[in-house]
Amino acid sequence: MEYLYIGAGIVLLLIINRFILAPIRRLAINTMMGLFLLHLVNTYGSLAGLHHVNVTPLTGLVVGFFGVPGVVAVTLFYLVI
């Protein structure tokens, strides 16, 4: 009977990892990559004629959810404004 509980616990951990932790991990990786690219845009964007992009919670959310396309969208948004 103990092995049944151990097996059920392992299955439960796999389900938690697949449906809860994996999307959070993906969001964290997208956010880090996007904020790094946003930093590069802010640092070297003036060489290409791009404006400074403010890092706010809203831009962080957009960059976190969309990653690299989010950085492009936020940069183009600040370029138009």
- Residue 74 CA from chain centroid, whole number: 14
First to last CA, the chain: 65
Tokens standing for 23? 């999307």
pLDDT band at residue 27, thresholds of 50, 70 and 90? Answer: confident
Whole-model pTM? 0.72
Q: For residue range 38-55, list pLDDT tens digits in order.
A: 889 889 988 888 878 888
What is the structure's pLDDT at 12?
93
- CA distance linking residue 71 with residue 76, whole number of Å: 8
What share of the chain in percent tops pLDDT 70?
100
